[in-house]
Every structure is written in structure tokens, then in C-alpha cells.
Amino acid sequence: MLLQWFASLMLVVLSFGSTSLWAAVGPLDSETAARLANQSTWHKLLVYEADGDGWKSAIHSPEFFLSPVGDHDALAELNATVIAMQQPASTDADQHAQCRFRGRFVWLRQQGLLADVAEQPCPAFQAFSSGDSVQSVSLVLATGYLGNPASFYGHTLLKLNSPVRDNRTILLDQTVNYGAIIPDNEDPVSYVIKGVAGLYDAGFTHIQYYYHDHSYGETQLRDQWEYELELTRPEVELVVAHAWEVLGRKYDYYFFTRNCAYRMTEVVEVVDGVHIIPDRTFMIPQTYLQQSQQQERNGKPLIRGRYYHPSRQSRLYQRFAALSDAGEDAVVAAVAAGNTLDFRTLPGYQALDDSEHHKVVDALLDYYQFRELDERDDAQQQVRAKSPAYTATLRERYVLPPAPSQPIVAPDHAPEQGRMPGLVRSGWARDAEGKGVLSLLVRPAYYDALDADVGHVRDGKLVMGELGVYAYRDRLQLDHFDALAIESVNSSTTGLPGDRGNAWRVQFGWHRLDRSCDQCVVPRLSAQFGLARPFVGRQLMLGGFAGGGAQDSRQGYGYSFVEGTLFANWHREQFDWRLEVNDYYQINSALDHEFETRLQGRYRVGLNQELRWQLLNQRGSTMEVGYGVYW
């Protein structure tokens, strides 16, 4: 391998004729070359990761390296890169090393090298970077989406910002996306297993922001938070160039660690002094934002600006909440009128003033576009033609006197202001026999209905790897291990048709079927579907589930079961209190009946601290009190 590399190097040197490499790039002696090759930025440009006592690139596309040993030898790749940067122009300009490895070229120029080397035209890169007009870069977080395993924790994009910023031009900004390369028709179970085990290739792609804005905000109803970074113009140039050179290169994809959040922040960390990848076992998008909030650049916060891009659902809910009682009645009447909607005869509408007219019409426009999600032709992935009611509402909007639409206000708290994702809670419990025991719960990630914080799905649950144990004087007792537990509760905030409040939950793990039985912990899989409705200004959520599942038949409890649950969640955010009640009934294949009532409470002591208590009635009563710390 060494002889092959040396022969390739000699051929390249000879191709220069009388032109010396060192004359072309200045005084790059062996000491300087070694110094540059050992710099962290050069390693980041090659996407090196620690590999035993050395380094190995996370990219396994051979075309990303100019030296045969460049995936682990930084000096060899530096020498090969410097030589390739001086090659004369080829017939395909975009294939020149200056174009293919734009980040390396920019960084070498910033180090004072290649100053006398003619810069080659790079048409494809110029199109990507809008003619080098990118003024800043932003990290964009699309909030969690429980309908797709790939987006449970949220998704991260890199947005390249144009000089002019308004609601129209930002849609044309270039975005860089990272994700697993998944075969068509891959089932969710295979996806999760392969994603966790690193069995997928992954890579970067790019597309204009309007595509993601529509996909996340209009189709999946996910809010987006954009964080513009405080970087200098040369630093922006380096980030954009590095993003370009890693496009299409293949990585290994790991759902919990080397995921979209990690790789996207890795691109930004090519800038010297920027460290926003948290030192954690799991890489969750919210954590890099929390890390970013604590950093400064040249005496200024790393986050220059934060912008809220609401989903279609969030816009509808805000505008509906801003209506007067008479305005709400008008909206309800308009929806009930269906395709016969006529604003001239709409009950109560003409009695409103023009300000309320605008609010009613804006709320209806958002509602009809929100309803399009239910009318999509899944076979064609298309939306049917606009309804006559939508057309009539749009016509009414043009008839009204000119006025701006009601502005959408960002929530009081942003994702980076939330708590940390992991939880350790210890406490004291009294078991069904009245014995006092110590309790311990460890949850690497992420949230439940009592601690769903900003950036999480409200009233929902997403838990992976939660372990609960009890410590007696003479033994440890496993209470449960949730490998995966998801609960999605979509509230019907407006009460209008289509805003249904569907709910579902799925859970897999090991659970104790009888609290008084040491041998009753069995593997279990269950799924339920239901409905939920908010009350008292969304402070109270009531709902229910019905479904079933399968389990190991131990102690005669049967291999399958059907079950139903009624629940209530009560939130008093201003007092930091949350309460949850679950009434649960099950009948298994052995025809045994099981009733369970669980009452839980949480008090938020601080951002990353809590007190919890629980009363459980299941073949005896148990009680537990614990203190938790988020990490």
C-alpha cells in the first residue's frame, strides 16, 4: 500500500514538469505539513473519529480521499490534497479537487497556502452556495413526531441563509439534511433494529427550505425552531464549503448516537472553537441546543437569533384561541355550512366588526388547509382540489378592507430552555405487604405525560430503556424495564370536525404482573387506540384507550389479553404541579381479570429536579415517593 501511494505521488509530481510543489504553495516544509495535518480542523474536514490509538474517518466512500490511506493518515491526505489542488483545469470543472473538496480548499487558503494557485470555476458549488452569497447559517429543529420512528426525538437541518430575510425568501434558502438510506417498504420494526445497530448507510442531501417547511409544518404538523449562529464571514464560508464536500458521502447511521443531530452539529463544529456536541451517551437534538445556549463567540452568544416557524396546526390553534365568543360561533357556523357557505347569510357574521371579520376568515383559511391532511389521496400522495368553502373564504378575504394577518406568537419557552433528557430518581416505597423498600428508576431518555417539557409532545410519552428496581434488605427486585414506550395524545383543541383528538400507545418491555410476586416479571407487548379531549383551557385532559397484547404466560396469566384504560392529566404550570390518574382493566386468555388504579403527582423543584409520588392499587396497595434529577 505504501509503495502504491508513493508511486501515485511521484506521478503527480512529475506531471508538474519543472513546477515545484513547494514553489507553488510557499514554504510548506515537512514540519509545517506535520503541524497542519495534526490540527483539529483538518481532522474535522476529514471527519476523523478516534479509533484505538489512531484515527479513522466516519466516511467510508473511497472517493472522499485522495490518498489510498487518507481515511486514517492525515498527513498523507494533506499532501495528496495540496498536490491535487494545483492540477490544471479539466474538461469537467466540477470534478477538480478544488470543487470536490471545497472545504479543504477554503481552509488551506485561510492558512495562507495555495495563494499563488489559480482558483478553478466550480459551477455546481456556486449554484449550491448561491454564488457565495450565504450570509449566515442556522440549525433548524423540527420538533418530535411520534408518527415516524426516525423523528421521535425531532430532526435537525442546516439552513444556509440568504442576505434578505423575510417569510418568502427564506423558503428559497438552501438546506442540508442528514438521514439513513432506507430501502423502500422497510417495516418499522426492521428500521428500529437496524437503526440502533448501525446497519444502515446514511448521508447528506440538500434541497431548498420550502420542501422541509411543507413536509414538517404542513403535513406532519411539527413546529420548527431556527437558531441562527454567530459566525464570522470566513467561518460561514468554511461551514458552507464543508457541507458541500460531504454531500453524498456514505456514513454508518446510528439512531441514538451518530444521528442527524450529531452529524449536523459536526458540520458546524468544523469552525475552530465551536463545541456544541454534548458529551452524552445519547445524542438528542434538544441537547445540542442547550449546549449552544451556553456558548459565546467573541463576547457574543453563539445563538445570534431564534425564529419560530409554526405548523399549520399551531397557527390554527392560535387563531382560534384569539377569537371572541361571537367569532367562535361564526367559525362553527361556517364549518357546519360546508360547501354552501355564504358569508352574507352566515349567522352572526355580519354583526362583527372588520377586525373580528379578519380573525374569523384567517382562522377558517387555516382550518380548511388543516383539513386537507384528511383528504389526501394516499395512493397518489396528492391533495384534492380546494373545497368550495375554502374558495368562498378566500374570496371573502379579498372583499374585506386590507389588513395584515394576525401574527403568530412563539410559545413562552423554546426547546433549548427545557430540562435535560435523562432521569435518575431514587426514593422510598411501601410494597403490597407493607414493607418499606428503596426504589430506583433510571431513564436514559426521554419524557412522560408528567414531565413533557418544551420541545416534547404535550400529554405524550416517549421512553426508551427505562429501568425500575426495588431494593430490599436481602435482594433486588425488578419492577419493570421499558425497552420502548410511546403514547401519543392529540387533543381536540377547537372541537371542529377533523380535529379529532385521536390517541394511541404502544409498549414493549418486561413488566411485573403481580406486585406481590417475585417471579411474575414477563416480556410483554401491547398496543391501544383511543380518544382524548381537553378541558379547562387545556389544563385538564381526559381520554381513554382500548386494545390488547401478548405476553409470556407465567403463573397462569395467559399468553394474550385485551385491556382498556381511562386517564386524566391535570397541569397547573404556574404552580409547577402535574397529576395523572389511570384506571386500567384487563382480561387475559386464562380469563383472569385485573384492575389497577394508579395516581401519580409531580412537583417541579427546579429546571432539572423534581419530586414525585405514586399510589397504586393492584392486588394490594403500594405507595412511593421519590426525588429525581435530570441529566
A 10 A CB-CB count for 142 gives: 24
**Mean pLDDT of the region 421-449:** 89
Q: Which one-letter amino acid corresponds to residue 139?
A: L
Please tell me the predicted confidence (pLDDT) of residue 120. Answer: 92
- 63: Cα separation from own chain's centroid: 30
Please tell me the predicted confidence (pLDDT) of residue 381. Answer: 43
Q: Is the pLDDT of residue 122 over 50?
A: yes
385 pLDDT band, cuts 50/70/90, is: low
Please tell me the predicted confidence (pLDDT) of residue 186. Answer: 82
Q: Which residue has the higher pLDDT, 542 or 473?
A: 542
**Mean pLDDT of the region 265-272:** 96
- In 3D space, the residue among 240, 189, 579, 223 whose CA is nearest the CA of residue 411 turns out to be 223
Q: Which one-letter amino acid corresponds to residue 474?
A: D
Q: CATH fold of 418-630, please?
A: Porin (2.40.160)
- 300: Cα separation from own chain's centroid: 26
As a whole number of angstroms, the distance between CA 507 and CA 483 comes to: 8
Q: Which of 131-135, 210-214, 470-474, 517-521 has the lowest mean pLDDT?
A: 517-521
**Mean pLDDT of the region 157-178:** 89
Please give the model's pTM, rounded to 2 decimal places.
0.87
The answer to whether the CB of 613 falls within 8 A of the CB of 429 is no
Please tell me the predicted confidence (pLDDT) of residue 458. Answer: 80
As a whole number of angstroms, the distance between CA 345 and CA 342 comes to: 6
As a whole number of angstroms, the distance between CA 246 and CA 249 comes to: 6
Please tell me the predicted confidence (pLDDT) of residue 505. Answer: 92
Residue that the C-alpha cell 384506571 belongs to: 583
Helix (H) or strand (E) holding 233: helix 233-246
293 pLDDT band, cuts 50/70/90, is: confident
The answer to whether the CB of 21 falls within 8 A of the CB of 113 is no
Q: Which residue has the higher pLDDT, 161 or 30?
A: 161
Coil vs helix vs strand at 444: coil
Q: At what angle do helices 233-246 and 102-110 cross, to 10 degrees?
A: 150
As a whole number of angstroms, the distance between CA 609 and CA 631 comes to: 9
**Mean pLDDT of the region 599-615:** 94
Q: Which residue has the higher pLDDT, 91 or 179?
A: 179
70 pLDDT band, cuts 50/70/90, is: very high
User: Which cell numbers hold the place of 14?
Assistant: 512529475
Task: Compute the radius of gyration of the chain from its Cα atoms.
Answer: 29
Question: What's the N-to-C CA distance of the chain in angstroms?
Answer: 47
Average pLDDT, the chain: 87
Q: Is the pLDDT of residue 515 over 80?
A: no
Q: Is the pLDDT of residue 131 over 80?
A: yes
User: Which cell numbers hold the place of 185?
Assistant: 417498504
User: Which cell numbers hold the place of 534?
Assistant: 381537553
**Mean pLDDT of the region 12-22:** 36
- Beta bridge partners, 502, equal 531
Coil vs helix vs strand at 260: helix
Please tell me the predicted confidence (pLDDT) of residue 412. Answer: 81
**Mean pLDDT of the region 531-535:** 88
617 dihedral zone (left: phi>0; alpha: psi -120 to 50; beta): beta
As a whole number of angstroms, the distance between CA 101 and CA 84 comes to: 10
Residue that the C-alpha cell 492525515 belongs to: 74
**Matching CATH number, 136-309, of 1.10.3470, 3.40.720, 3.30.160, 3.90.1720:** 3.90.1720
User: Which cell numbers hold the place of 357?
Assistant: 371579520
Coil vs helix vs strand at 274: coil
Coil vs helix vs strand at 198: coil
The answer to whether the CB of 482 falls within 8 A of the CB of 509 is yes
Q: Which of 121-135, 333-347, 466-480 has the lowest mean pLDDT?
A: 466-480
196 pLDDT band, cuts 50/70/90, is: confident
Q: Which residue has the higher pLDDT, 610 or 511?
A: 610
Q: Which residue has the higher pLDDT, 324 or 434?
A: 324
Please tell me the predicted confidence (pLDDT) of residue 150. Answer: 65
Q: Is the pLDDT of residue 467 over 80?
A: yes
User: Which cell numbers hold the place of 502?
Assistant: 385521536
**Mean pLDDT of the region 174-179:** 95
As a whole number of angstroms, the distance between CA 294 and CA 19 comes to: 50
Please tell me the predicted confidence (pLDDT) of residue 474. Answer: 81
**Helix runs in 247-342, H state only:** 260-268, 285-293, 312-321, 325-337
- In 3D space, the residue among 623, 528, 600, 610 whose CA is nearest the CA of residue 576 turns out to be 610
User: Which cell numbers hold the place of 285?
Assistant: 437534538
Residues in Cβ contact with 227 at an 8 Å cutoff, skipping those fewer than 6 apart: 138, 139, 140, 141, 289, 292, 303, 305, 306, 416
Q: Which one-letter amino acid corresponds to residue 549?
A: G
Q: Is the pLDDT of residue 383 over 90?
A: no
